[in-house]
Amino acid sequence: MTARTAHPDVIAGGTTQDHIEMLRAELRAVTDRLDAYLADLARPRLTAVMTTAAPAGPDPLDGLPPLIGVEQAAKVLGLSRAAAYRLAAADELPVRRLGGRVYVATAGLRALLDGAA
């Protein structure tokens, strides 16, 4: 059985609470980097969806209420549900949060799509 070595900060006299705070800060930094990385991955996908020529026909946003669910917005954009939620979390979609639910503003979605044309 191998002996466990303590973290250098604990050996140097740091308290357990100091060690916990240091780990929390490192975890926050890693999470922030991961969020930025995922947002960068999603940005080209959203641009590709927005720049794809829309088929001639009725506007898919006509008749929709002012706020639609993320899943419905995903269908309109031709994205997967998971991709739409990632874009919403990265503030790449015009989202509104009400009562713990996430909605996409139809007017903002129209402006986003019109701006890409």
Q: Is residue 3 in some structural domain?
A: no
For the ranges 7-16, 17-26, 38-47, the lowest mean pLDDT is seen at 7-16
Q: In the chain, how many domains are there?
A: 1
CB 103 within 8 A of CB 69: yes
Chain segment 78-93, per-residue pLDDT in tens? 899 999 999 999 888 9
Neighbours of 81 (CB within 10 A): 14
Q: Is residue 98 in some structural domain?
A: yes
Q: Is residue 73 in some structural domain?
A: yes
Q: Is 52 a residue whose pLDDT tops 60?
A: no
Bigger pLDDT: 14 or 9? 14
* Structural domain containing residue 105: 8-116
Q: Is residue 2 in some structural domain?
A: no
Q: Is 56 a residue whose pLDDT tops 60?
A: no
Strand partners, 105: 67
Residue with tokens 């903002």: 108
Handedness of CA 67, 68, 69, 74 (dihedral sign): negative
Q: Is 73 a residue whose pLDDT tops 50?
A: yes
Q: Is 16 a residue whose pLDDT tops 60?
A: yes
Nearest to 49 by CA among 96, 102, 95, 92: 92
- 3-class state of residue 33 by DSSP: helix
